[in-house]
A and B are shown apart, each in its own frame.
Chain A
Amino acid sequence: ISATHVFPASLIYSRSFLEFVKKANDAGRGEFTIQVRGGPEAIGMMEQPGAVRSGVVDMVYSPCAFYAAVVPECDAVSASTVDGPTARKNGGIDLLNQIHQKRMGVVLLGWVDSGIRFTLWSTKEPKFDSGGHIDIKGFKVRGNPIYNAFLTNYLGAQVININSSELYTALERGTVDITAWTQIGLMDLNWDRYIKYRILPDFFETDLMIIMNQKKWTSLSPKTREILQRTAIEHESASLQSLQELWKKEQAELAQRGIKTLAQSPDASRRFVAGARAASLARMKERTEKAGGMENYERIVQLFTPG
């Protein structure tokens, strides 16, 4: 079984996936081996979902958002209020798996590394208005095609598009003041040198999926499938837990490095998170209407954002 991961091997998320591979290979000794062919150096980041779809590679570890144009329901995952194990229990992942098979011809093994949210990290202190809403007019925000609409429409931010490899220099020079990034991993990229503030609330959720080509999946022996599926489900819980622990550690470290946490007022926070969620769900609705399959829309929304 060949596999690739979208991020470079040094990133925390890729390491988590490699751990899954190790566990699966240990459990399936004599039965199968997963051969990791590499990260973006083997197949380009955005090309990996297509590669697993066509069967060039058997297994891919990728954010759902990378193929959200094919599977619009991905937006519900990033907007979700639950974590992987919960969605597994309430049947959300099963339904999403069926949708993956139907829309893209891939099997969704698991939603791993969940529970980590995105944060606005800022180099400058933002102002707050009387309602406790953050006011970042005039701040330059590093955009991401996926979140641009929310950032500009809701926050009125100035979005700058820049490669993440150039972001360090951009933060240093003040070309960019704010970047959205996951809670963890900031220090791996050394951005904490220029980042001074963490702006609450956190929003969105990581949507990292392990997917497999469906034809390959059905050609595997029942035992292999059972081991793979079981290991993936175990990893859904294990990765949730280990990343939460890591986040606790990183939080302490960030505080020690002098990064202040600012929060919007409870009311403003609620509106902020709701705004992000609404933006995602609106796009999902729009795409689903175009692609068909609206019959699942309500259930997906309900299963992934019950709160």
Chain B
Amino acid sequence: MQWYWAALLLFGLGVGLMMLGIPVAIAFFATNIVAAALFMGGGPGIVQVINNGFGAMTSFALVPIPMFLLMGELFYHTGLATKCFNAADKLLGNVRGRLAYVTLIGGTAFAGPAGSSMGACALLGSLMVPEMMRRGYSKYLSIGPIMGVGGLAVIIPPSALTVLLATLGRTDVADLLIAGVVPGFLLASMYGVLIWAWTVILPEAAPAYAPEPVSRREKIRLFFVDVIPMVAIIVFSVIIMIVGWCTPTEAAALGALSVIVLAACYGEMTWKALVKSLNGALRVTVMAFLIIFGSATFAQVLAFTGASSGLMNWALGFDVTPLGMLFVMIGVILFLGCFMDQLSMMLLTAPIFFPLAKTLGFDLTWFGLIMLLALEIGYTTPPFGLLLFVMKGVAPPGTTMKDIYLAGMPFIACVLLLIGLIIIFPPLATWLPAMSH
């Protein structure tokens, strides 16, 4: 069978089943079963899919996700989060959409060192979304910024995905990491402008209630009692990562533990809160992992049938200018990003794209950064995006998948704009690495 038939069958079946309303994980499994039976020799093929899934699950470097989730849920259910945001609300005064900015600033500070998009999104999602919706923020404004910030975790160093991409592309890791700093903060500022524009154009998205006036003494008390301890935990988990005391996973676990300790100090650590937190974290973990199980094996089947390399070689076969070829490559990543997780995509595309970029005379750091941004978009593009699913897991009941798709769109537009800027103005990516030499 030609690769395009295999590709058509796999993508068509996967998307078709999902659109029918079959749970995403099951849709992937069904596609995998059909494909394995067809291309991998029937029964043994299905057995292989199960074995692949086993391998993916036990080694995917996924441990941070449940730990970050647990940390977020604990913050929320012990009431520490509400305390802190009440305080932030009062302290910030009458800024429209202030919690969206809190998400953005806090998220950028946290996502950077955490380096795990899904972890950061899970933490912020379980922390902020219920709180913001409770205060009458529109669901789009509550959900969107968090997915945007989740994507930042990849660009702002350190980030495991960046290291992996540079390794696969055989280019300089440090340069690529450093290259992400300027665009990362630029992107965060673009998000800031976006939120501001949003609240100006659609004022009803963020409720304009004036906070009750607070005395200066009360403000100081709020700051020290309600804000500082929580910020301290986040700062603590960031610092122990940066000084090399432990890995991000371990930092997340310690973070969760310190929330328990802190909550106990406030007398808020009840058995009920613990059970609720475990329940919430478990929900999202199970859901996300099942989907990862399905999608990781889907990507493998796709690669095994030759559909992925066929698609890539076909796309690269066009006779176009270097710039045209760059757009083709971005296009391939964006397309694959609709169906696959970032790791699989990297393994698939990097060994082909980087040598090609080299022959086209591109600066590999610049190219790597563009590729990273394009990969990051895949986190939030429908129908399949890991951040979308994490978000759906932590969002309050009644939030539909469509809401989440739409909420992510403006932030995707920002990333596309940034890619455009970097193409037009390469020093955005290359200046800082050059300075560091």
Give A residues with C-beta under 8 Å from B. 4, 8-10, 35, 37-47, 50-51, 54-57, 160, 162-163, 165-166, 168-170, 172-175, 188-190, 193
Smallest CB separation, A264 vs chain B (Å): 27
Knowing A10-B168, A56-B41, say if A174 contacts B303 (CB, 8 Å): no
Asked if A169 and B242 make an inter-chain contact with CB atoms under 8 angstroms apart, the answer reads no
- Which residues of A are found within 8 Å of B48, using beta-carbon distances? 43, 47, 50-51, 54, 56
Asked if A190 and B347 make an inter-chain contact with CB atoms under 8 angstroms apart, the answer reads no
Q: Could you list 12 A-B pairs, sorted by A, with CB under 8 Å? A: A8-B351, A10-B167, A37-B304, A44-B51, A56-B41, A165-B167, A166-B61, A169-B115, A169-B163, A188-B167, A190-B167, A190-B172
Smallest CB separation, B401 vs chain A (Å): 27
Of all A-B residue pairs in the complex, the 3 with the closest CB atoms, nearest first, are A173-B244, A44-B55, A41-B347
B169 touches A (CB below 8 Å): yes
- Which residues of A are found within 8 Å of B4, using beta-carbon distances? none
Smallest CB separation, A161 vs chain B (Å): 9
B231 touches A (CB below 8 Å): no
B400 touches A (CB below 8 Å): no
Smallest CB gap from B301: residue in A: A42
A-B contacts besides A46-B55, A163-B160, A165-B160, 16 pairs, CB < 8 Å: A9-B351, A40-B347, A41-B347, A43-B52, A46-B59, A47-B52, A160-B247, A162-B247, A166-B163, A169-B115, A170-B244, A173-B242, A175-B245, A189-B167, A190-B172, A190-B173
- Which residues of B are found within 8 Å of A42, using beta-carbon distances? 300, 303-304
Q: Which range holds the interface residue count of chain B?
A: 35 or more
Q: Mark B172-187, 1 if CB is under 8 A from A, else 0.
A: 1110000000000000
Q: A288 vs B47: C-alpha distance in the bound complex, in angstroms? A: 27
- Which residues of B are found within 8 Å of A172, using beta-carbon distances? 158, 244
Asked if A175 and B247 make an inter-chain contact with CB atoms under 8 angstroms apart, the answer reads yes
Knowing A10-B168, A10-B170, A189-B167, say if A165 contacts B61 (CB, 8 Å): yes
Q: A169 vs B116: C-alpha distance in the bound complex, in angstroms? A: 13
Knowing A51-B48, A163-B160, A166-B160, say if A175 contacts B244 (CB, 8 Å): yes
Smallest CB separation, A122 vs chain B (Å): 15
Asked if A56 and B44 make an inter-chain contact with CB atoms under 8 angstroms apart, the answer reads yes
Asked if B242 and A188 make an inter-chain contact with CB atoms under 8 angstroms apart, the answer reads no
User: Which of B40, B174, B247, B303 is the one whose CB lies under 8 Å from A38?
Assistant: B303
B306 touches A (CB below 8 Å): yes
Asked if A47 and B351 make an inter-chain contact with CB atoms under 8 angstroms apart, the answer reads no
Asked if B247 and A166 make an inter-chain contact with CB atoms under 8 angstroms apart, the answer reads yes
- Which residues of B are found within 8 Å of A47, using beta-carbon distances? 48, 51-52, 54-55
User: Which of A9, A38, A160 is the one whose CB lies under 8 Å from B304?
Assistant: A38
Q: A8 vs B349: C-alpha distance in the bound complex, in angstroms? A: 11
Q: A201 vs B148: C-alpha distance in the bound complex, in angstroms? A: 49
Asked if A39 and B347 make an inter-chain contact with CB atoms under 8 angstroms apart, the answer reads yes
User: Which of B174, B245, B309 is the one whose CB lies under 8 Å from A190?
Assistant: B174
Smallest CB gap from A162: residue in B: B247
User: Which of B51, B115, B169, B243 is the one whose CB lies under 8 Å from A51?
Assistant: B51
Q: A83 vs B166: C-alpha distance in the bound complex, in angstroms? A: 32
Smallest CB gap from A9: residue in B: B351
Which residues of chain B in 4-58 are interfacial with respect to chain A, using CB atoms and an 8 Å cutoff?
Answer: 40-41, 44-45, 47-48, 51-52, 54-56
Smallest CB gap from A37: residue in B: B304
Smallest CB separation, B357 vs chain A (Å): 13
Q: A108 vs B436: C-alpha distance in the bound complex, in angstroms? A: 49
Q: Which of B166, B167, B170 has the most CB of A within 10 A?
A: B167
Smallest CB separation, B346 vs chain A (Å): 9
